[in-house]
Amino acid sequence: MKSVNVQIDKIFAPASAVTAADIEALKPEIEAAHALLHNGKGKGNDFLGWVNLPSSVTAAELDKIEAAARTLRDEADIVIAIGIGGSYLGAKAVLEALSGSFDHLSAPRKGTNPKVLFAGQNISEDYTWELMQAVKDYDIAAIVISKSGTTTEPAIAFRIVRDEIERRYGKAGAARRIAAVTDSAKGALRTLADTEGYPTFVIPDDVGGRYSVLTPVGLLPLAVAGVDIRALVAGAAEMEKFTAEAPFSENPAMQYAAARTALYRSGKKIEILASYEPKLQNIGEWWKQLYGESEGKEGKGIFPASVTLTADLHSMGQYIQQGERTIFETVIRVAEPAHTFRIESDRENLDGLNFLAGKRIGEVNQMAILGTMLAHVDGGVPNIAVELPRIDAHTVGALLYMFEKACGISGYALGVNPFDQPGVEAYKKNMFALLGKPGYEQEGEELRKRL
């Protein structure tokens, strides 16, 4: 499997409590956890639709998604994707990874792929106002993504965006400019979409939000933005097949899960996902939800954090090097940049950099990666390397699936249900009570006494 390679040898440093023998001893447990994902006998087995999702996406389904994307592109300069958590993080992560770093500086214009902006991932009044101001001079459309249609953050955003679209283009125009990704048969959004005639796509019942990037949840916004969703799905399908068949020693998902499990049991409680490519920053945000929401329960779980290096070496580097030794790193390394930029010689050499003359910036970056890895390992921070040949749709699809598969394995090895999230309801109940939602009056009174 060439698209994603996981290397765990740097977790066996003298300062680490984990050995190669520990990983080998985990083999039966990791293989058993992997088997649970495929035989459906583990906890949360009603949410395993993602396991064989990439290979089950049909050409007809992709045709339908791409057709809807073309309609939205024809109608709008800007498409607002409305969702929260897994309903937006995957699309945002892939879009950022596959876009130019400064694409946001160019104004939307007809004849090009529309800008995809995001809403409903917060309840910030300023963000909402500024978003609506930013789009006021452009034709707009929307993709609303919600299983129920009643989740507070996206429901508020959709009400505002829908009102604006209807004000500009009328009900009939809105029906061409709004697409819904929702439940197949029930819920407020399904009812509204059917009533208003919005084109709809289904969130599969057996795929949880944080595993949904390869469903229309992620694929429709990405197709609108011009991402090659067929390559994305193909990369994931390749990784699906490989991780289903490859033996433990060659299986990137099993190796990653085994390394994380061994490190956690040795006392490493915090995992830092690091990359040296700014384009991958939101892959880190997606990864944090995937692992945090899957593993953080029953008083257990590795705390997921992320950094973008080398920038964060000048802020978090000191802690990583010499702080409390409860951390380990997983570093995403990209072998080949998409572009070439060489450092020129300077006659005065006042900055002392002529020793780099003729080298590509990517060469310097690679040496920074290796130098930092050795420093951190020597400082007692075990390192896992996730190596990618390049950043493209196929590779990113494979990476996403590898992380998903490894997460399911790790969760089962941890002894939790990796596919539920009971803890996220607590803040919602308190918020509803404090806002005076009908049925929450008594709770609201009690909470206000505590404030």
| pLDDT, tens only, 300-331 | 999 999 999 999 999 999 999 999 999 999 99
Q: Decide: 82 and 145 in contact? Cβ < 8 Å.
A: yes
C-alpha 201/C-alpha 309 separation (Å) is 38
For the question of residue 428 being annotated catalytic, the response is yes
Q: Which of 180, 233, 244, 215 is nearest to 50 (CA)?
A: 215
Domain ranges of the chain: 5-42+232-417, 52-230
C-alpha 228/C-alpha 80 separation (Å) is 19
Q: What is the mean pLDDT of residues 294-303?
A: 97
C-alpha 177/C-alpha 71 separation (Å) is 8
3-state secondary structure of 143: strand
| pLDDT, tens only, 145-173 | 999 999 999 999 999 999 999 999 999 99
262, pLDDT greater than 60: yes
Q: Catalytic residue among 96, 153, 277, 293, which?
A: 293
Mean pLDDT, the chain, rounded, equals 95
Class of domain 52-230: alpha beta
pLDDT at 281: 97
Give yes or no on whether 5-42+232-417 and 52-230 have one common fold. Answer: yes
Token pair in block for residue 304: 């997921």
Q: Model confidence at 431, in pLDDT bands (50, 70, 90)?
A: confident
For the question of residue 293 being annotated catalytic, the response is yes
State CA 74 to chain mean position distance.
Answer: 28
* Fold assignment, 5-42+232-417: Rossmann fold (3.40.50)
Q: Which of 151, 160, 150 is nearest to 125 (CA)?
A: 160
Q: Model confidence at 1, in pLDDT bands (50, 70, 90)?
A: low
For 222-291, the three-class secondary structure string (H helix, E strand, C coil) is HHHCCCCHHHHHHHHHHHHHHHHHCCHHHCHHHHHHHHHHHHHHCCCCEEEEEECCHHHHHHHHHHHHHH
Q: Catalytic residue among 136, 300, 428, 429, which?
A: 428
**Percent share of the chain, pLDDT over 70:** 100
